[in-house]
Structure 1
Amino acid sequence: MVSTLKIEIEERDGESFLRDAYVTQPFRIMPVGQYKSDGASYLMIMSSSPGILSGDVYDIQVNVKENARLQLQSQSYQRLFNMEGSASQIMNVKMEKGSSFSYVPHPVVPHEDSTFKSHNKINIEDDCDLTISEIITCGRKHHGETFKYAHFQNLLEVYHHDRLILKDNVLLRPDIMPLAAMGLLEGFTHQGTFVYLNTKNEDVKEHIEFFFKVLEGLENVAFGISELESNGFVIRILGHGGEQMFDFFRKVQDVLWEEKVAIQI
């Protein structure tokens, strides 16, 4: 089944709002920031389906107009059910000048024999801030389905003035890849990726140093932070729990969203 979600966020007099929306089953879009006073738009993607099924194709399109700010949230863990075939998701984001977009979804849980391919393509203009992350778990560990999924892939591409400035491709094939080996997951069961970049020529070195110190306080994880050629960085974490990673990524999101590096985590 092909499912579509299209939203357009506009800004007027310092307030960002949902200008237009179009959804098909099982999608719904709900406002969740009614009590916030920062002028940004806070929306949650909701679904009447318990997860992604074989044959599902999700088409998500987000347009953040000039000077608008959008924080997009997920409803819950994304389950990829057992599949005879495959499922896919495409998310296209257009960020106009001076806009901000932040999306830190819940972890993905691939069930046994699931095959899922995701492609996130983001076009970003000048004076923008982008935050996006993903967490992939080993599957239903307590059901004996650790690394029993068939194929998981998430491709992220970010373009600035039609020039590719970031490409990140996560591909996991447990049947042909020794995921526990050196250079891959090395005994860990969960992998998280957090990406931040801006086109405001704002330096990110203080952010990198701050988050590195915070990461040193996390238990039972391995991590690294890489500075991007553009003004940004990528945090990669290996661990044993999706909730731990998700909580940390949400805290990083809060720091960046509020543009405060000295805030306590």
Structure 2
Amino acid sequence: MDCHLNLTCGFKNGKSYVKDLYVTLPFRVVSVGQRKTDNKLYQMIMSSSPGILDGDHYHLDISLEKGTALQLQSQSYQRLFNMKDKALQEINVSMEDDTSFAYVPHPVVPHEDSNFKSEAKVHIGNNSQIVISEIITCGRKHYGEVFKLKRFQNLMEIYHNNKLIIKDNVLIQPDLIPIKSIGNLEQYTHQGTLIFYSTKDELKTGELIERILKDAEAHHEEMEIGISTMENNGFVVRGLGHGGEVMYNFFVHIQEILWALD
């Protein structure tokens, strides 16, 4: 099934708002920040489907006009069901100048024989920032489905002034790459990636990284966190652990820190 979500966010009288919205089944978008007083926009993507099915092709197109701040949320864990072929997801985000976008969705749960590829392309404007993440679990561990998926790939590209700034490619294919080998997940069952990039001036990236690492120490028995800094204003957080909830909550915590910068 071809499934579409098109969301355009505008900025007027000092507030971000939904300027245009178009969805097809199974999507639905609802506002979740009615009690916020920061004049930013908070939207949640909901779905009437229990998960992504064989043959599904999701198209998500997000546009942020100048001055807009949008935090996009997910409804729940995203399940990838058993597939004979594959399912695809395309995310395109267009950010004009002076915008802020954050999307920290719930973890992905790949069922046995699932085959899924997600491609995300972000074009970021000047004086703007983005926070975006994904968490992949081993599957339904209590059903004995530990990395019994066929293939999972998440490809992320971020552009500024039509120049590729960041390219991140997460590929899990157990029949090709031994998942427990050295240099891969080894003894862990969950992997998370959070990317932060900013085109703002005088951003104190070092102080942000130190704070995140300090906060991560409280969860050192549940997950391992590493941070790679970029040449410009940005960094990538990698997480390894044995549960999705702890990692997801920590990524949300990082999002809150970075969201307050705008």
Aligned to 2:33: 33
The structure 2 residue matched to 1:224, chosen from 220, 223, 226, is 226
Aligned to 1:91: 91
- Could you tell me how far apart the structure 1 residues matched to 2:8 and 2:214 are? 37
Aligned to 1:162: 162
- Could you tell me how far apart the structure 1 residues matched to 2:81 and 2:232 are? 37
Aligned to 1:53: 53
Aligned to 2:9: 9
8 A contact 1:111–1:140 mirrored in 2: yes
Q: Larger deviation: 115-124 or 196-205? A: 196-205
Q: Which of structure 1's runs of 4+ aligned residues deviate more than 3 A?
A: none
Q: TM-score, normalised by structure 1?
A: 0.97
Q: Larger deviation: 210-219 or 2-11? A: 210-219
Aligned to 2:111: 111
Aligned to 1:249: 251
Match status 1:234 vs 2:236: yes
8 A contact 2:222–2:246 mirrored in 1: no
Deviation at 1:54, TM superposition (A): 0.2
Aligned to 1:208: 209
Query: Aligned to 1:168, what secondary structure does the other structure show?
Result: strand
Q: Deviations over 1:205-238 (max 9, x none)?
A: 1001111111122123222100012201111010
8 A contact 1:165–1:230 mirrored in 2: no
Structure 1 residues not aligned, in runs of 5+: 261-265
Deviation at 1:203, TM superposition (A): 2.9
Count of residues in Structure 1 that have an aligned counterpart in Structure 2: 260
Aligned to 1:263: none
Match status 1:129 vs 2:147: no
8 A contact 1:133–1:192 mirrored in 2: yes
Match status 1:178 vs 2:175: no
Q: Percent identity, aligned pairs only?
A: 53
The one-letter code sitting in structure 2 at the alignment partner of 1:20 is D
The one-letter code sitting in structure 2 at the alignment partner of 1:27 is F
How much is the aligned-residue C-alpha RMSD, in angstroms?
0.9
8 A contact 1:193–1:235 mirrored in 2: yes
- Could you tell me how far apart the structure 2 residues matched to 1:2 and 1:211 are? 39
Q: Deviations over 1:136-165 (max 9, x none)?
A: 000000001000000000000000000000
8 A contact 1:65–1:99 mirrored in 2: yes
Structure 2 residues not aligned, in runs of 5+: none
